Structure 1
């Protein structure tokens, strides 16, 4: 009797733990028929248009782990993502970064816009030195890390109802990166199930040719992202260099750059766009602000309707960059952006 009681207690405890674990991992029904596999999972495929989110949107949230990031995505109602490198790489065991990424990114933006003060310039130089030392450490780690961890992360996300269509690792596809770094980024993207990796457009024809050759080798597309340097012809050379060189168009930045016909580039290059970032920015005449969706000059609604009507196959990626209102958080704001997309496509 005593043994039976112990067994029963253990069984009940194990069952409770298992059920709690399945709740944490994702909304699934233990032992349920296969017809219920999609129960309570997100679905942001709207009228033929896949709405996704770049996980950079959740950079203000306290926990940046892969598990926490998945929860943010699920709570936002999103079913497909462009995954940033940090959640994936830390899940795979990447050494911890000693550099304050938020401070580094803020100063990097200021430098890009030529707005660094003298003190900020010294601070940024120090952070750059720390980052260079750390990048060497990471490069060494990448030489030995197994792809099994990335496959495991892909399964964890997939089981919860979230697919990974793009992967954007940090410091992987730059001019100073080795072929081993580039090779690693392509292989990691494949292990995660991504159709393409993304990188900032380098405005360097030799580098896009090199990256295009590596992309061809791996049969993995690479989408070049643009900021305010975007023009209708920015990607032309890269597109000629390799059929695996593609666009990761940013519609908001395209508008802020002063391009007068943002919908025209979608129509002209739709077959070479792998994904498109969505944000609402103003034109230069209105101050280039990054504003709440529906209050700027970016034709998000019209772009989504164009994708739907013409059955273009690339996703629209929510990138949350406007200031989060007091009392809100990134998850709540991504929810609002998704709802904006739903109304635009209804």
Structure 2
């Protein structure tokens, strides 16, 4: 049976979209404008005490993935704080270009999970894996010598435009990364102004202990991100290992994972949540879809109001994962998501 959208949520979504259409989100471009305009028309997505941010992964479909273009996307959305993915920042600092066809590699991984790889595809995948391993070694060597000045410059560029970086997510915190790379990622995050780094929860107690110990040494938090493996107790071991281990809760995935009363984990764990991803997913019973906000089962409105009413300090991070409608783009859809948040928090 098709899941029907609730009338109240539909009216709420319509009001939010009208707000987006009627709002002036950003004035003249900061790039190439006279310097006197540099500090004008700064974005502000702190809404009644709740910081709404966006993870720059949301703009992955946009053609230009440079740090400068990413900042422009953020500004055009009217967002004033972000979780920054590693690629734009590292490219800005001169990271070697990746020669691997990542889209082809991703398609092959999906085919492998489905158990449908042909012999020719197995050979192609092995070649791409070898290229990836070689590239990762090249990147590790580059990270060991890149000066921090470039990241300080990037932070200034973003801060001058009115955007702060509260979290940093480079590919430097996995089990296969060396201690030197992990230390590099944590040091870089601090230079960027982030309070925490984010990483997929490894489901490995030894690794969360390792990261927690290193985070304590560098004075920064590690926010572990979850998908459909999230349960109320997923983070308990890591949180008990170190006060520097924390949560990067994904509220939409938490709902799709089948957890009952999803607001309870925010109430119970708010002191250990450093940031929370928001998206609108359906429950298991309705198919677990990732939908336009207001169309799914995730109580985004209630979660934001809970944050507002209890003065929870962690940011709520827009993560655009639903299919972008024809004729639209990621910037337009993030604008709609922000308008939805404004409507919830007004």
Residue 273 of structure 1, CA deviation? 0.1
Q: Are 2:55 and 1:54 equivalent residues in the alignment?
A: yes
Deviation per CA, 1:91-141, whole angstroms, max 9, x where unpaired? 000000112334444555666xx3352146655444332211110000000
CA contact (8 A) 2:280 2:290 kept: yes
Deviation per CA, 1:304-335, whole angstroms, max 9, x where unpaired? 00000000000000000000000000000000
Q: Are 2:204 and 1:204 equivalent residues in the alignment?
A: yes
Q: TM-score, normalised by structure 2?
A: 0.88
Distance in 2 between residues matched to 1:98 and 1:265, nearest whole Å: 42
Residue 226 of structure 1, CA deviation? 0.3
CA contact (8 A) 1:83 1:167 kept: yes
CA contact (8 A) 2:111 2:117 kept: no
State the partner residue of 1:83: 84
Distance in 2 between residues matched to 1:306 and 1:116, nearest whole Å: 44
Q: Does the C-alpha gap of structure 1 residues 94 and 116 become closer, same or farther in structure 2, counting only changes over 3 Å?
A: farther
State the partner residue of 1:335: 335
Residue 87 of structure 1, CA deviation? 0.2
Q: Are 2:263 and 1:230 equivalent residues in the alignment?
A: no
Segments of 4+ moved more than 2 angstroms: 22-29, 100-111, 114-117, 119-129
State the partner residue of 1:183: 183
Deviation per CA, 1:251-279, whole angstroms, max 9, x where unpaired? 01101111112100000000000000011
CA contact (8 A) 2:47 2:342 kept: yes
Structure 1: any 5+ residue segments left out of the alignment? Answer: 1-21
Distance in 2 between residues matched to 1:192 and 1:299, nearest whole Å: 32
Q: TM-score, normalised by structure 1?
A: 0.88
State the partner residue of 1:239: 239
Distance in 1 between residues matched to 2:59 and 2:110, nearest whole Å: 18
Q: Does the C-alpha gap of structure 1 residues 196 and 108 become closer, same or farther in structure 2, counting only changes over 3 Å?
A: farther
Distance in 1 between residues matched to 2:255 and 2:200, nearest whole Å: 17
> Quick check: which has more Rg, 1 or 2?
1
More deviation, 282-291/116-125: 116-125
Q: Does the C-alpha gap of structure 1 residues 63 and 272 become closer, same or farther in structure 2, counting only changes over 3 Å?
A: same
Distance in 2 between residues matched to 1:340 and 1:106, nearest whole Å: 33
Structure 2: any 5+ residue segments left out of the alignment? Answer: 1-27
